Structure formats: C-alpha cells, structure tokens
Amino acid sequence: MRTGIADMVAVARIMNATLVIPQLDKSSFWQDSSTFSNIFDETHFIKSLEKDVRIVKRLPKELESLPRARKHFTSWGGLGYYEEMTTLWKEYQIIHVAKSDSRLANNDLPLDIQRLRCRALYHALRFSPSIESLGKKLVERLRSRAQRYIALHLRYEKDMLSFTGCTYGLTVAESEELRTMREKTSHWKVKNINPTEQRDAGLCPLTPKEVGIFLKALGYPPSTLIYIAAGEIYGGDSHLSELTSLFPNIVSKEMLATPKELKDFSNHASQTAALDYIISIESDIFVPSHSGNMARAVEGHRRFLGHRKTITPDRKSLVQLFDLMEAGQLEESSLSLPVMQLHRQRFGGPRRRGSGPPGIKGRVRLRLEESFYQNPYPECICKS
C-alpha cells in the first residue's frame, strides 16, 4: 500500500497530473474497510508534497460524470513509458489506475523522481495520529521491558502459507485447508504447487521452530525480548509454542496494548499492520521470516534511517542445514558457525541496490531486480 502510493506520486509528477487521494483495496483476503485517512495523515501527505505534485482529496464534482480511461499501467514502467501514456490526456481528463503495486521501474529513472519517491514514502506518508500515538506507546512499553528488542515479522499466516503452497510441519488437515483456500481464491493464478520444491528453493516462510533455531544459532539468548509483528499465526499456539519454547520472552500487540486501546483497530488489518510497521522500524533488530512486501518496505525504511540492523535469513541455505539436522547428520551445537558464515553480509549494512541476476534480460530481469523500496541506496541515502 505504502510503496504503491509512493509510485503513484512519482507517476503523477512524470505525467504532469493531479493525484486524487487513492481509494484502498477492500476486497483482499483481510476484508479491511479502512480509508486512506483511517491509516494515513491525509493533510500532512498533501501539504508535504505540494511543491512536487498537486494532490486533492476527491475528484472535483464537474469531472465526476466524465468518461475516464481505466488503465492497468505496465509493471516496472520507465520514464519513456509514462511519457507515452500522456497521450491519454488527448481523449480523457481522468485516468483511473486500477493497480498501483510495482508500477514504476526500480532503476534508470531520473534522480529527482527517485528522490521524490523517498520523499513521499519516508516523509509525506505518515500514519494517522491515532496510529502514530499508539505505536509510540507500544515501543515505549517494549523499551521498559528490555533495553533492546527484536521485531520478528513472522509471516506464518494462513494467506501466505496458502499462496506459497508451503505445508512443511503442518498436519494433513491443515495442508488440505490451505489447498482448498488456494483453489477458491480466483486471483491466485497458480493452483498446483509442490511444497517440497518450494521449500528447497527457499520460497517458503521459515516456520516458528526454524526461526527459533536460527536466532539461537546467531547467539541470541533465551531471555531476548521478541516482538511478533504479524497477524494471526496459523495454527495458533500449537505452532508458535515451537518458538516460545526456545524464546519465552515473546510479546505481541495484544499483550502490550489494552483491549480499550485496540478496540478501534479491531477488524482493520491494515491499521494493526501499521502498528507492526512502526514497532518494526523502531526495533533494535528486524528479522523477516519471508521476503514479502512489508518485509522489503521495512528493510528499506530502516536503511534510509541509517542502516539499522536487519537480518535477512538465507532461507534456501538454512533449509539444507535444518534437513541435515533432522536426518541426524548435523548436531545443533555445530549449527552456529555455518549460520554465522552464511549471514555475515546479511545484517543490513550499506550496499548498492542489486540490479538483477547476470545473463537475464527483458521484463524477467526487471521483475528480478532488487526493489527500490527495499534498498533506496544510493539515490536517497547520503554517502557520508
């Protein structure tokens, strides 16, 4: 949501257009009815970008009845693509952009456009006062419990497991439930997924047990305070206990906030995710169990704020180690050294954004490039 909005700010600038405050998706898995102003500080957003892009809260009445171009802009479009799209203004005064995610290229854009994306995302797109206030309170409560805490984005949620087809460690009934959900979700195009191949390729979220083993191998003691930044964990305590048995000092927003404080956020997954986002940004260490949209956005924001420590698990290599342990070919006491060696360069230190695997060209390469929002270096981060 955040990165898509930042992209549309930049696209509006390129096309010399007025941006209408976007309507948010209410038909996703989470069925969240939140509006833009429920999640973000609308006035601050408009004011912060007034020198870059004209933004209005709603479409002017005199334009409401006019025909509009409903456009699915291509994924990872560059400057030339959007300059060509300005021909739409010859026939229409309104362009309705049906999708906003990954609409803009990661690389090869003018420096002022790249910096505008960062200005939109890291300065203009502030959460609503109620979300900001509670988010800061929860951070303070975490700090009162321990000097340092890890924010763990444990993406072991029903929608992610169903979408990726990852069933390792689940019961037959749980696996079938996820398969049925995938079959019934029409906009998920891939239905038949081999869970073993997915896991071996490093495409599955780490399980709670695997996360626990991973953190222990990195040297974190059992007393480490860990905040779970996630929605409802699939299987509840039956799976989460595999993590809490190793790290009992685990908390969630439901444990930190009072029922009264959370009442206004109930049934609004985007707003509770915003709380997780704030707590993750402010954490001493951020660990995502899967490289999804939120994990990438948080990592990029933490880089922008001074390369705050983010540990991105090498899931493909870790799975090989875990399988060796399960087969009795590797002792857990011997796990620390290979895990530390694998992650020596995966702690969020300064580095230029990756341009994609060598030898791959065309649109496939654009898809495989590292996200601008995951690592906005060098355009938005001073070298000094």
Domains identified in the chain, total number: 2
Based on the fold, state whether residues 72 and 33 are members of the same structural domain. Answer: yes
CA 305/CA 339 separation, integer angstroms: 27
Examine residue 25 and state whether it is found in any structural domain, yes or no: yes
Please state the separation of Cα 49 from the chain's center in Å. 23
Based on the fold, state whether residues 118 and 148 are members of the same structural domain. Answer: no
CATH number of domain containing 270 = 3.40.50
Q: Are 109 and 369 in contact (CB under 8 A)?
A: no
Which of 102, 99, 40, 47 shows the shortest CA–CA distance to 274? 40
Examine residue 173 and state whether it is found in any structural domain, yes or no: no
CA 105/CA 75 separation, integer angstroms: 8
Based on the fold, state whether residues 113 and 134 are members of the same structural domain. Answer: no
Based on the fold, state whether residues 33 and 133 are members of the same structural domain. Answer: no
Residue 267: the pLDDT is 84
Examine residue 215 and state whether it is found in any structural domain, yes or no: yes
> Going residue by residue through the chain (384 aa), what tens digit of pLDDT does each one get?
999 999 999 999 999 999 999 998 877 666 788 999 999 999 999 999 999 999 999 999 999 999 999 999 999 999 999 999 999 999 999 999 988 989 999 999 999 999 999 999 999 999 999 999 999 999 999 999 999 999 999 999 999 999 999 999 999 999 999 999 999 998 899 999 999 999 999 999 999 999 999 999 999 999 999 999 998 999 999 999 999 999 999 999 999 999 999 998 888 989 999 999 999 999 999 999 999 999 999 999 999 999 999 999 999 999 999 999 999 999 999 999 999 999 999 999 999 998 888 888 888 888 889 999 999 999 999 765
Examine residue 150 and state whether it is found in any structural domain, yes or no: yes
Based on the fold, state whether residues 41 and 116 are members of the same structural domain. Answer: yes
Domain housing 211: 129-156+205-349
Q: Which residues contact 239 (CB under 8 A, 6 or more apart)?
A: 156, 169, 207, 208, 209, 233
Based on the fold, state whether residues 27 and 83 are members of the same structural domain. Answer: yes
Examine residue 254 and state whether it is found in any structural domain, yes or no: yes
Examine residue 357 and state whether it is found in any structural domain, yes or no: no
DSSP category for residue 120? I
Q: Are 372 and 117 in contact (CB under 8 A)?
A: yes
Residue 363: the pLDDT is 82
Residue 357: the pLDDT is 82
Whats the size of the chain, residue-wise? 384
Cite the DSSP H helix spans in the chain. Answer: 2-14, 36-39, 42-48, 61-64, 79-85, 111-119, 129-145, 158-164, 172-184, 195-200, 208-217, 237-244, 253-256, 259-263, 269-282, 293-304, 315-326, 336-342, 362-368
Examine residue 186 and state whether it is found in any structural domain, yes or no: no
Based on the fold, state whether residues 45 and 150 are members of the same structural domain. Answer: no
Residue 364: the pLDDT is 84
Which tokens go with 105?
Answer: 């290229």
Q: % helix / strand / coil in the chain, to the nearest 5?
A: 45, 10, 45
Based on the fold, state whether residues 151 and 77 are members of the same structural domain. Answer: no
**DSSP β-ladder status, 150-153 and 95-97:** unpaired
Q: Are 278 and 131 in contact (CB under 8 A)?
A: yes
Based on the fold, state whether residues 85 and 51 are members of the same structural domain. Answer: yes
Q: How many CA atoms lie within 13 A of 371 on its CB side?
A: 23
Examine residue 57 and state whether it is found in any structural domain, yes or no: yes
Based on the fold, state whether residues 98 and 244 are members of the same structural domain. Answer: no
Based on the fold, state whether residues 222 and 90 are members of the same structural domain. Answer: no
pTM equals 0.94
Based on the fold, state whether residues 88 and 139 are members of the same structural domain. Answer: no
Asked if the peptide bond before residue 208 counts as cis, ω within 30 degrees of 0, the response is no
